[in-house]
A and B are shown apart, each in its own frame.
Chain A
């Protein structure tokens, strides 16, 4: 089955860190750019970061650049998002998505930043 499954979300205090994972299956993972997209409670969608097929190119939205790091392991068919210096405004459901047009999405994982 073609799918993406996110994990790693949870409750973290402001200033803390969290690492999200996204496991891919059912398609040739190493052939696709991969993105992280987030959605704050009751709000719209916001693209966070993406990474190219071999991990050599990465792009970030300004609000997370320098705090979040995207990476991938093609041997494990997984993409990751290391989130440091978390803020309350990072509270959201985080989705991983495939390709530039986001043709496949996972179910999401909730990150709550609160004291």
Chain B
């Protein structure tokens, strides 16, 4: 099974900050990597697929990069509504697995 790790596990930031979250896969997954945002009590919201493609309707302040085993999610200018937990997920092989999440506190 491919293990996904995320760093940091949590971070505190201010409105307007640029925030970067890293996701690493235990083996190469090409670009089969997605990112999600989840707020308490809500379903995950898809942000990125194919490591760097924005899902429809997602603002351009979110961007993704990487390939192989190391990936990043960047929020260019943090806003209060971005307080949430962010998960990465690979879909290269079975079982599909998620990272443990990164909680962003504003």
Chain A contact residues, CB within 8 Å of chain B: 35, 44-47, 50, 59, 61-62, 95, 100-108
Residues of B in contact, count (CB < 8 Å): 22
Distance of A62 Cα from B44 Cα, bound (Å): 23
Chain B residues, Cβ within 8 Å of A104: 46
Chain B residues, Cβ within 8 Å of A105: 43-46
Report yes or no: B89 in contact with A61, Cβ–Cβ below 8 A.
no
Cβ of B65 < 8 Å from any Cβ of A? no
Chain A residues, Cβ within 8 Å of B98: 44-47
Interface of A is mostly: loop
A97 to chain B minimum Cβ distance, whole angstroms, is 8
- Cross-interface CB contact of B34 among A61, A102, A108, cutoff 8 Å: A102
Cβ of B36 < 8 Å from any Cβ of A? yes
Cβ of B96 < 8 Å from any Cβ of A? yes
Distance of A98 Cα from B43 Cα, bound (Å): 13
A41 to chain B minimum Cβ distance, whole angstroms, is 11
Report yes or no: A62 in contact with B95, Cβ–Cβ below 8 A.
yes
